[in-house]
C-alpha cells in the first residue's frame, strides 16, 4: 500500500490498499467507457475517500463535476433543479454541460431517500428515467422534452454489516445501469497497515517531528485492536441508547489528526504521547457511549489494550487532562476581523481550579459585553469539563462540528455559547422561521467563513431541526461541505471569482478546481453545533436517514449528574437568586436537598435516559447485584448538568414575591 506523505487540503490522507487499487483500475476502465459506476460497502470502509481521490484525478477541462448527498428527505425536485441549472442547449432538443463537457454527477448515499406511500424512491425513479430514456422533462411550460447527452453518474451506497430482512430492497431497474464495485471492510493486518500509514502521514504534516519507531508501532497496534473490538461489540441496534453507535476507521483518523497539535518536544516524550492518545480515545470514542454496561465494557477493553502495549508507563500519567486554550486573559473579540483560525495551545493540567478561575473571568466578560443575552451558569467541575471538551473540537483544523446530547435542562446551548466565546468564534444567528429565511441566513454564514476567511458557528437545537429540508441541508454540509442547490450558478461563479486571488496565493495547484478550495474553507471555518435531548428522533434515524450528523460531528453524550452534584447546584441557585435569605442555613440546605430529590425523581418518572442510568435494571437475581457492585468499582462517571433545579428555584422565588407563605421543608 502507498500514500502521499502529507494530508490533502481537507486534512485527510488516502491510503491505497490492494482492494482500492483493484477498484480504482475498474473505475478507470468504466470512465473510459462512459459507464455509470456504483461503489458499495459497509459504513467507514473508504468508499467516499476512494471516489473523491479518483475524481480529483479527472481532467477538469473536459468534465464538469457536481455533487449531491442524498438523505432520508431528499426529493426528486432537487435532482431536477440541479440538472436544469447545469445543462445548456446544444442543438435541436439536445442538451448537455457547457462547452461540450461531460457532466459528472457524484451522488453519495444513493439508497437513503425515503420511499413514498407506494414504495417508490422518487429521486431514484427520476434517475432511472434519465438513464433509461436519456430525457429530462421540464416542469414549467412549455414542458419540453430535453434529450441529455454526456451525463455520467458516480454513486456510493452503504449497506449495514449486519443486514435486516426488514430492510427495503433497492430498485433493480436503476441498478442495471451501473457497474457495481464492492469495497470490503478492512480487518487484521490490512487495517493495522492502514492505521500505521495514517498516523505516519499525520505526524509528518507541516514537517512535524515523527514519533519514535517503537511508540509509533505501539500506537498503531493498540488503535487497531481497540477499533476491531469496538466494531464487534458496540454495534448499532434498535436497543435504546445504541441506535447512534457508528464506529469506524474515521474515528481513529480523527484521533491521529488531533495528535498533530503536540509540539516536537512533547512528541519525544513517550508518556506524554500516550497520555494524549488516551485522552483523545476517551473524547472521540468514549463520549459517544451512553449505556452504563457499554461504558463498563469499553473501560475494560481500553485497560486491557493499554496494559498490553504500554505496560512500561506508570498508572498516574493515564489521568492527565489536556486543554486546548491558553489560560491568560486576552480578549480579542472586538478585533475578530483580523482572525483566521481558532488559537490552539495544547497543555496538560493536574486540576481544574485554574481553568475554573479563567472561565469565571471569561463568563463575567461575556455578560458585560453581551448584556442583552447574559449566560447564567454555575461553573462546577462538570461544566468546566464539558467546556474543555467542546473547545477541543472547536480547535480542530477540519470538521470542528459538535453534536451535544443531554437531558432536558442540561443547558447545552449555554455550554456551546460559552465555549464559542472562549474559542473566539462568533455565533451566527439562523432564521428558521421559513425555508427561504433559513437558506439566506445559511448563505451569509458560508460567505463569511469561506470568502472572508473568518470562523463562524451556527447553533441548531431540537426546535430548529423539525423541518426535514433543514436536516437534509445540514446533513449535506456535514458530509461534503456543500449543498447542491444552496447557491445558484451565478452566485457560485461570483463566490469563486472572489476567492480567486486567495486561491492563487495559497493553493496555486488548485487553480483548475476552485470549488474544492471553497469546500475546504467551509469545512475548516464553519462550525456546526447541534444540541439534542437523548430521546430525539434524529438519534434513532440518523444512521438510516442523516448519517452526516454521526460522521461529520463529534458526538458528546452528557450523562446525568450524581446526587451530590445536583445538591451543590441547587445550593448555588438558591444563593444566586437570594431565595429564603431570611431563613437559617440549615433550612436552605434542606430546601436544596428537597429540590435535588425532586429533580432526580422527575428524571426517572419521565423516563429520561433511564437505560443509561442503571445497568442492572434489565437483569434479575444475583447477577444484577454483582454487576452493580462491579460498576461502583469502575472509574468515575461522566456527569451532566442540572435539568430542573434552576426552574424550581425560579418558581419558588416568584411564589415568595407573590405571597407570604411559610415554606416548610423536610427531607
Neighbours of 596 (CB within 10 A): 25
**CA–CA dist 555, 278 (Å, integer):** 17
The pLDDT-based confidence of 654 (bands split at 50, 70, 90) is low
Q: What is the largest CA-CA distance in the chain?
A: 91
Q: Where are the alpha helices (DSSP H) in 336-451?
A: 353-369, 381-394, 412-423, 435-446
Distance CA 117, CA 123 (A): 14
Alpha carbons 460 and 470: distance in angstroms, whole number: 10
Q: How far apart are CA 479 and CA 99, in angstroms?
A: 30
Q: What are phi and psi of 484, to 5 degrees?
A: -55, -45
Residue 621 has pLDDT above 50, yes or no: no
Please give the radius of gyration of the chain, using alpha carbons only, rounded to the nearest integer.
27
Give the three-state DSSP class for 374.
coil
Kind and range of the H or E element at 64? strand 63-69
Tell me the C-alpha to C-alpha distance, in Å, between residue 297 and each of 287, 291, 610, 630, 666.
14, 10, 19, 11, 40
- Taking each helix axis as running N to C, give the angle between helix 622-633 and helix 292-309, from 0 to 180 degrees, rounded to the nearest 10: 50
pLDDT in tens, 340-376: 678 888 998 878 888 999 999 999 999 888 767 788 8
Greater confidence (637 vs 108) lies with 108
Q: Is the pLDDT of residue 635 over 70?
A: no
The overall average pLDDT reported for the chain is: 82
Question: Which distant-in-sequence residues (6+ apart) come within 8 Å of 372 by Cβ?
Answer: none
Cβ of 501: how many Cβ atoms within 10 Å?
9
**Which of 161, 182, 158 is closest to 170 using CA atoms?**
158
Greater confidence (638 vs 469) lies with 469
Please state, in angstroms and rounded to a whole number, the distance separating the CA atoms of residues 552 and 401.
Answer: 7
Give, for 36, the enclosing helix (H) or strand (E): strand 36-41
Residue 604 has what pLDDT?
A: 66
List, for residues 527-539, the tens digit of each pLDDT value. Answer: 999 999 888 999 9
Strands 145-148 and 135-137: antiparallel
Pick 207 or 81 by higher pLDDT.
81
**CATH level 3 topology of 333-472+523-558:** Rossmann fold (3.40.50)
Q: Which CATH number fits domain 18-185: 3.40.50.300, 1.10.3720.10, 2.60.120.20, 2.40.37.10?
A: 3.40.50.300
Q: Report the alpha-carbon distance of residue 212 to residue 226 in Å, rounded.
A: 21
**Common-topology check for domains 18-185 and 333-472+523-558:** yes
Which H/E stretch holds residue 282? helix 270-284
Given a contact cutoff of 8 angstroms between Cβ atoms, the answer to whether 97 and 150 are in contact is yes
- Cα distance between the two ends of the chain: 67
CB atoms within 10 A of CB 83: 19
CB 415 within 8 A of CB 386: yes
**188-319: CATH topology:** Histone Acetyltransferase; Chain A (1.20.920)
**Cross-strand pairs, 89:** 95
Nearest to 645 by CA among 407, 370, 463: 407
Spatial separation of the C-alpha atoms in residues 126 and 82, rounded to whole Å? 12
CA 256 – CA 262 distance, rounded (Å): 11
User: Nearest Cα to 409, choosing from 647, 601, 654?
Assistant: 647
Helix count (H) and strand count (E) of the chain? 25, 15
CA nearest to 614, candidates 602, 628, 625, 601: 628
How wide is the angle at C-alpha 627 spanned by C-alphas 625 and 631, nearest 5°?
115
Residue 637 CA to residue 559 CA, distance in Å, equals 8
pLDDT of residue 314: 67
Residue 294 CA to its chain's centroid (Å): 21
Burial track 102-116 (b if 16+ CB lie within 10 A, e otherwise) = bbbbbbbbbbbbbee
According to DSSP, residue 58 is labeled S
Beta strands in 172-270 (DSSP E): 178-182
Cis previous bond, 142, omega within 30: yes
Alpha helices of 481-621 — where are they, by DSSP H?
Answer: 489-506, 514-525, 537-545, 548-551, 563-576, 585-605, 610-613
**Among residues of the chain, what percentage have pLDDT more than 70?**
81
Which distant-in-sequence residues (6+ apart) come within 8 Å of 65 by Cβ?
55, 58, 104, 106, 515
Per-residue pLDDT of 595-606, as tens digits, reads 777 776 776 666
Catalogue the long-range contacts made by 52-60 (C-beta closer than 8 Å, 24 or more residues apart): 52/14, 53/14, 54/24, 54/27, 54/28, 55/104, 55/106, 55/154, 56/513, 56/516, 58/31, 58/104, 60/512, 60/513
Q: Three-state SS for 294?
A: helix
Where does 70-139 show beta strands of DSSP type E?
A: 88-91, 94-96, 102-108, 135-137
pLDDT in tens, 46-77: 899 899 889 888 888 888 999 999 999 999 99
Q: Is 152 helix (H, G, I), strand (E, B) or coil?
A: strand
Query: pLDDT tier at 637 (50, 70, 90 boundaries)?
Result: very low
- The pTM assigned to this predicted structure is 0.84
Q: Where are the domains of the chain?
A: 18-185, 188-319, 333-472+523-558, 563-658
Do the Cβ atoms of 484 and 67 come closer than 8 Å?
yes
Amino acid 70: pLDDT = 95
Nearest to 254 by CA among 220, 232, 219, 285: 285
Name the least confident of 105-109, 313-317, 390-394.
313-317
State residue 592's pLDDT score: 79
Amino acid at each position: 500500500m502507498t500514500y502521499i506523505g502529507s494530508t490533502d487540503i481537507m486534512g485527510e490522507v488516502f491510503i491505497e490498499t490492494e482492494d482500492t487499487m483493484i477498484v480504482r483500475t475498474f473505475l478507470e476502465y468504466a470512465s473510459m467507457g462512459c459507464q455509470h459506476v456504483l461503489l458499495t460497502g459497509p459504513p467507514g470502509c473508504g468508499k467516499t475517500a476512494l471516489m473523491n481521490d479518483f475524481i480529483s484525478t479527472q481532467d477538469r477541462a473536459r468534465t464538469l463535476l457536481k455533487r449531491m448527498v442524498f438523505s432520508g428527505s431528499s426529493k426528486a425536485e432537487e435532482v431536477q433543479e440541479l440538472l436544469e441549472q447545469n445543462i445548456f442547449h446544444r442543438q435541436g432538443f439536445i442538451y448537455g454541460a457547457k462547452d461540450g463537457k461531460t457532466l459528472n454527477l457524484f451522488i453519495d448515499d444513493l439508497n437513503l431517500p425515503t420511499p413514498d406511500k407506494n414504495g417508490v424512491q422518487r429521486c431514484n425513479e427520476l434517475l432511472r428515467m434519465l438513464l433509461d430514456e436519456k430525457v429530462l422533462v421540464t416542469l414549467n411550460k412549455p414542458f419540453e422534452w430535453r434529450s441529455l447527452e454526456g451525463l455520467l453518474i458516480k454513486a456510493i451506497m452503504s449497506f449495514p454489516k449486519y443486514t435486516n430482512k426488514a430492510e427495503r430492497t433497492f430498485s433493480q431497474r436503476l441498478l442495471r445501469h451501473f457497474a457495481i464495485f464492492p469495497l470490503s471492510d478492512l480487518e487484521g493486518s490490512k487495517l493495522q497497515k492502514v492505521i500505521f500509514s495514517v498516523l505516519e502521514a499525520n505526524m509528518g504534516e507541516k514537517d512535524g517531528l515523527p514519533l519514535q519507531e517503537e511508540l509509533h508501532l505501539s500506537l498503531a497496534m493498540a488503535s487497531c485492536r481497540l477499533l476491531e473490538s469496538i466494531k464487534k461489540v458496540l454495534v448499532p441496534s434498535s436497543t435504546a441508547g445504541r441506535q447512534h453507535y457508528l464506529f469506524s476507521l474515521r474515528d481513529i483518523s480523527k484521533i491521529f489528526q488531533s495528535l498533530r497539535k503536540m509540539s516536537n518536544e512533547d512528541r519525544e516524550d513517550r508518556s506524554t504521547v500516550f497520555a494524549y492518545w488516551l485522552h483523545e480515545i476517551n473524547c472521540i470514542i468514549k463520549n459517544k457511549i451512553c449505556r452504563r454496561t457499554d461504558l463498563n465494557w469499553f473501560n475494560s477493553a481500553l485497560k486491557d489494550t493499554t496494559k498490553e502495549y504500554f505496560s512500561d508507563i506508570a498508572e498516574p500519567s493515564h489521568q492527565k487532562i489536556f486543554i486546548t486554550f491558553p489560560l491568560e486573559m486576552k480578549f480579542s473579540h472586538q478585533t475578530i476581523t483580523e482572525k483566521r483560525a481558532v488559537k490552539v495551545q495544547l497543555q496538560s493540567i493536574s486540576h481544574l481550579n485554574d481553568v475554573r478561575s479563567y472561565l469565571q473571568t471569561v463568563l463575567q466578560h461575556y455578560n458585560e459585553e453581551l448584556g442583552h443575552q447574559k449566560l447564567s451558569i454555575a461553573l462546577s467541575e462538570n461544566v468546566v469539563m464539558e467546556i474543555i471538551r467542546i473547545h477541543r473540537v472547536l480547535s480542530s483544523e477540519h470538521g470542528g462540528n459538535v453534536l451535544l446530547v443531554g437531558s432536558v435542562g442540561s443547558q447545552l446551548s449555554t455550554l456551546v455559547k460559552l465555549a464559542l466565546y472562549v474559542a473566539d468564534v462568533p455565533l451566527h444567528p439562523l432564521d428558521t422561521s421559513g425555508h427561504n429565511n433559513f437558506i439566506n441566513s445559511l448563505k451569509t454564514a458560508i460567505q463569511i467563513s469561506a470568502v472572508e476567511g473568518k470562523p463562524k458557528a451556527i447553533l441548531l437545537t431540537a426546535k430548529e431541526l423539525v423541518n426535514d429540508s433543514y436536516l437534509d441541508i445540514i446533513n449535506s454540509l456535514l458530509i461534503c461541505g456543500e449543498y447542491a442547490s444552496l447557491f445558484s450558478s451565478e452566485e457560485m461563479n461570483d463566490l469563486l471569482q472572489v476567492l480567486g486571488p486567495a486561491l492563487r496565493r495559497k493553493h496555486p495547484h488548485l487553480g483548475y478546481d476552485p470549488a474544492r478550495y471553497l469546500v475546504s474553507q467551509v469545512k475548516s471555518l464553519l462550525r456546526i453545533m447541534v444540541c439534542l435531548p437523548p430521546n430525539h428522533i434524529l438519534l434513532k434515524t440518523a444512521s438510516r436517514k442523516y448519517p452526516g450528523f454521526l460522521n461529520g460531528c463529534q458526538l458528546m453524550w452528557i450523562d446525568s449528574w450524581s446526587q451530590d452534584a445536583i445538591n451543590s447546584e441547587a445550593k448555588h441557585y438558591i444563593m444566586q437568586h437570594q431565595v429564603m435569605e431570611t431563613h437559617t442555613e440549615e433550612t436552605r440546605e434542606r430546601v436544596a436537598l428537597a429540590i435535588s430529590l425532586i429533580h432526580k425523581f422527575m428524571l426517572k418518572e419521565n423516563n429520561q435516559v433511564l437505560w443509561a442510568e442503571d445497568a442492572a435494571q434489565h437483569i434479575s437475581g444475583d447477577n444484577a447485584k454483582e454487576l452493580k457492585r462491579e460498576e461502583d468499582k469502575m472509574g468515575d462517571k461522566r456527569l451532566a448538568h442540572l435539568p430542573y433545579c434552576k426552574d424550581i428555584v425560579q418558581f419558588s422565588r416568584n411564589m415568595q414575591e407573590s405571597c407570604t407563605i411559610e415554606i416548610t421543608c423536610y427531607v
